[in-house]
Structure 1
Amino acid sequence: MGMSVTISAADEQDAEHILKLQYLCYQSEAELYGDYSIEPLTQSLDALRAELAQGHALVARLGDEIVASVRATADDTGTVRIDKLIVHPRLRRHGLGGRLLDAIERHFAADPAPAAKRFQLFTGHRSEGNLRLYRRKGYETVATREVGPRLTLVTLEKAA
């Protein structure tokens, strides 16, 4: 690769780049489930900006290019909900998703208000790569919910 990937907090100026990357990354999920109307593919730029303002987001850059991102929010019970962990298709299977997951967990573990008690995320039941990564990082299935004839969401959690 020649360059190292750096991870930093996302800001408002990153929103458009994150949305484009999100659209690219979720194509494979849409294909896997035969549903191109999933929320990550229909989310507006304004909705993404609102998400960035509500929680905390990280981006990974290769040079100036955003190549990965993750977002999370914490509620008053101490549950940190991790959402939309995305890695550019050409950089998958190089440990970047795991690095981002570790970084977002560290951020919330260090934030005293509210204190993180658990980390929670979800993915589709056919998303084997995602499930493998999350289980390797210590997440365990706590719930499943059928949301359509082709999709069951798997919720995973681990203690902070």
Structure 2
Amino acid sequence: MRLELRLAFTEDAPAIWEMQKIAFRGLLERYQDYDTSPANQSLDQLRLRCSQKDRYYYFIDVDGNPVGVLSVTDKQDGSRKRLSPMFILPQFQGRGYAQEAMRQTEKIHGERGWELDTILQEERLVHLYEKMGYRKTGKTAAVNPRMTLVFYQKL
């Protein structure tokens, strides 16, 4: 397996959007977070995010094929970098791709000074981020009665 991060550009927004809808569909159905789910984001919203100055989108390619995407906000001013969103398409999950993508992201943007949030009820996601060295900040936010976000930092 050869995993590489490939920088995406604004013109890649339609491909990212299609992948994002597939990747987040199950979570949207489970948690019904219609206002916040990336599965419900419009293509125009994603294009705008892709064009932001301090935001970097990467395709996660395995053996030359895209299996997921991650986005990093890095203002390069000493403030915390933000990982959001990151996803692996359902048929490729459970193979260590997210961990390797995060390692490579840290090589590009630095190992320290990160933040992210994830769904508290998703034990696999919580485990992944804690395994990668992220620690809970103590902050949570209820999105709806079914879903709570938990916030993490990697100092």
* TM-score range relative to shorter protein: 0.7 to 0.9
Equivalent position of 2:102 in the other structure: 101
Percent identical pairs in the alignment equals 26
The equivalent position to 1:134 in structure 2, one of 129, 147, 154, is 129
Give the CA deviation at 1:103.
Answer: 2.1
Give the CA deviation at 1:13.
Answer: 2.9
Give the CA deviation at 1:18.
Answer: 0.8
| TM-score normalised according to structure 1 size | 0.83
* 1:11-160 correspondence runs (5 A): 11-54=9-52, 55-62=55-62, 65-75=65-75, 76-109=77-110, 118-142=113-137, 143-159=139-155
Change (3 A) 1:64 1:106: closer
For 1:155, give the aligned amino acid.
Answer: F
Aligned residues: 151
CA distance in 2, matches of 1:157, 1:135: 10
CA distance in 2, matches of 1:15, 1:64: 19
CA distance in 1, matches of 2:65, 2:16: 10
| TM-score normalised according to structure 2 size | 0.86
For 2:51, give the aligned amino acid.
Answer: A
Of 136-145 and 53-62, deviating more is 53-62
CA distance in 1, matches of 2:113, 2:43: 29
CA distance in 2, matches of 1:17, 1:28: 19
Structure 1: runs of 5 or more not aligned:
110-115
CA distance in 1, matches of 2:21, 2:6: 21
Of 64-73 and 129-138, deviating more is 64-73
CA distance in 1, matches of 2:35, 2:141: 18
